[in-house]
Structure formats: structure tokens, C-alpha cells
A = this chain, B = another copy of it.
């Protein structure tokens, strides 16, 4: 195992120091990443977080039009309530705070505890549980939260930026989760710095269907087949759960170790599948957004758009991991 790190113990704080050095738009304090300019009076604050190792999620999505703060835990480990309490207090501009929580048992518990312990701030939580692969899993009661987290953060962040009240921001976040589905496929395992060896063994000729973003087991292992068939498997799982129709937001996401060229190969197949169902790729993202350290593989996340969600997706965003202005 070769890692570009100093020590396994310091990797999260070393990486945060690098983020602070690279992005003057961020301020980092007590392992919480904030917008440097602080809260805007009257704007709903957005806080998310989770284990590290999924970068750019979440810290890379702090900035105008997305999150106000992110709480990174240690690698694949939930943030502690103190981080979340600090973040929640610090980003409140008087309009309350939305917690965006991926559905993992540890995250859910710690965000719940933090919400209860944060006095004088109105907090609403939204759970993201978009992964259709398995009903329960190693770290989860119910479906896992994966790629749709980015969609929720972007779209709720845009509505918050417009000055909408907490209830409306929470409602659109829930709506995005309900309209989104994901499915991931691993070609290789990932290796955490502390373990120093792959989280699981995957034979040289097989792939894992329905992989989680921490290497949790999926539905099945099958022999490696061409990208067209892998994309088809992912899309059948999604379409079988939420039939594709109308305008879609489509993300083909790399798990961290897959070349961009291969993600575009997969995207071409996903787009062909969508067209075959009579739906339309209206907006898209291709790249490494919700990763699992050095894992090779990809996931597909689909959201059924409407005019409002499309407008909020298109709204300007300025974060290290996602930025555009229109």
C-alpha cells in the first residue's frame, strides 16, 4: 500500500490544512470547514458532514450556493456531535439551519444528538437515502446515502441563497432525495491509510454490483463485462425502482481511482439507456464527486427534474468542488 500521506493519524488534518492553503474562500477551525465570510443574516444555514475519504464531498462543497459548513470525520467515520454543534451555531444567520445527513447509523445518531444539544438555533434534518442497491447494509438501517447528497446540497443551497425560509429549504432537499436514485459498481476495493490493505478482496476477473461508498458489500459479484453492460445493470436497478421519465439530472461519478476517460465511456452508455427509455439527459456531471479513496469503479445517480429543480441546479455556485455562474 502506497499513500501520498505523512502519517495515517494526521491524514485528515493534513488534508484540511491543504484545503485551507488552496482555498482562501474557506476557513477551517476545530475540524470544521466554513465559508470564510461567515453567516449571512436571514439566510438559512446548511451543514453537512460525514466520514472523510469521499472528497470532494463534503468539504469541497462549502461555498456560495451550497453548504455553509462541513464536518469531516476521520476516514469513513462519522463526525462527532461537538463538530456539528460548533458548525450549527456558527452558520446560523437567524433563519435556522438545515442538517443534510447521509443515511448511515453513526451519522444519523451524531447529527440527531447535535441537533438536540444546539440551543437557540432552529434545526431541521433531511436524510439522504438514494442507493437502490441494498435495503439495509453494514452501516445502515434502510438505504444508504450516496451520490444524491451532492444534488441535495446543490439544490437546497441554491434555494437558501435566494432567502427562502427553513421549511422550504428542507422541503426541496427532501424532494430531491425522493426524486433521486443511485447504483454503484466497484472494479477494485479501496485501501484506508490505517488498515494499509484493501478493505475487501475482489478477484482480478470480477466486479461488485451495488457497492457502497465505504466498500460495503453490494448485491452480487459477477465477472467483469464491457462498460455497456455494467452501465445497463446500474440503470436497470435505478429504472426498476424509479422509472425514468422527462428531464433528468444524470451524474456518472468516479469512485476515486477511475480515469476520467473511462467515466465518459460509461456516461455514453448511460445516456444511450436514458434515450432508449424515452427520457432526456437535461443536466449532467461526469467526474469524481462522491468517492471511496482509491477505489476503481463508478456510480450513477439520476434525479427526475422539474422546472424549479432545474433552475436551482443552474443557479450560480462557487465551491472548490463545483463552480459555475450563469
Contact = CB atoms under 8 A, between A and B. Distances in A.
Given A259-B256, A259-B294, A261-B52, A268 B4 contact: no
A53 interface: yes
Interface in A140-194: 187-188
B22 A286 contact: yes
Nearest to A295: B259
A319 to B, nearest CB: 11
Contacts of A14: 227, 264-265, 268
A266 B224 CA distance: 34
B15 A262 contact: yes
Contacts of A318: 324
Contacts of A18: 263-268, 271, 286
B260 A207 contact: no
Interface in A260-292: 260-268, 271, 281, 284, 286, 288, 291
Query: What is the predominant secondary structure among interface residues of chain A facing chain B?
Result: mixed
A192 to B, nearest CB: 11
Contact of A4 (B6, B23, B227, B284): B227
A120 interface: no
Nearest to A203: B2
Interface residues of A, number: 61
A298 B60 CA distance: 19
Nearest to A53: B261
A230 interface: yes
A223 to B, nearest CB: 10
A262 to B, nearest CB: 4
B4 A260 contact: no
Contacts of A4: 187, 227, 230, 258, 262-263, 265-266, 296-298
Contacts of A286: 18, 22, 320
A61 to B, nearest CB: 12
A258 B56 contact: no
Interface string A1-24: 111111100011011111101110
A264 B55 contact: yes
Contact of A2 (B17, B55, B224, B284): B224
Contacts of A207: 2
A3 to B, nearest CB: 6
24 contacts: A2-B207, A4-B227, A4-B262, A6-B226, A11-B261, A12-B261, A14-B264, A18-B264, A18-B265, A21-B271, A22-B281, A52-B261, A55-B259, A55-B264, A256-B257, A256-B259, A256-B260, A257-B257, A257-B294, A259-B293, A260-B288, A288-B288, A323-B323, A325-B325
Given A4-B258, A4-B296, A17-B268, 20 more contacts: A2-B207, A3-B187, A4-B263, A4-B265, A5-B226, A11-B262, A12-B261, A14-B265, A15-B268, A18-B266, A18-B271, A21-B267, A21-B271, A22-B284, A53-B261, A56-B260, A259-B291, A259-B294, A261-B293, A324-B325
